[in-house]
Amino acid sequence: MNLEVVTANRLKDGRTVYLGESGWSENLEEARLAGSAAAAQALLALAERSVERNEVVGPYLIEVIEEGGHLVPARRRERIRAEGPTVAAGSGRQSREIV
């Protein structure tokens, strides 16, 4: 059985968020899990109401799997959304830190 959660981007700042028990969270661990198609659709419907309230944009379902006791997204794209870019910003180790 696939586990799914709802993800979206927050309208005001664009950050990746997941639909949790008490609203949207940036932490995937706090996301509400759907274990059936019906549950997934119900979560999506909740998310759509949040869209109407101009809280988030573009909600959709993603599959999550358990890995080492944690929930992680199944797809690479979603892992990157959850964990951030896989590269460190900026101009590499040859530069000294110019703050």
- DSSP state at residue 26: S
Q: Give the residue, chosen from 53, 66, 68, 69, that forms a contact with other proteins under the rule CB under 8 A.
A: 53
For other proteins, the binding residues in 56-75 under the rule CB under 8 A are 57-58, 75
To other proteins, the closest distance from the beta carbon of 84 in angstroms equals: 7
49 near other proteins, judged by CB under 8 A:
no
Tokens read off for 33: 């899990």
Tell me the pairing of strands 23-25 and 16-20.
Answer: antiparallel
Nearer to other proteins, 22 or 86 (CB): 86
Phi, psi of 88 (to 5 degrees): -80, 140
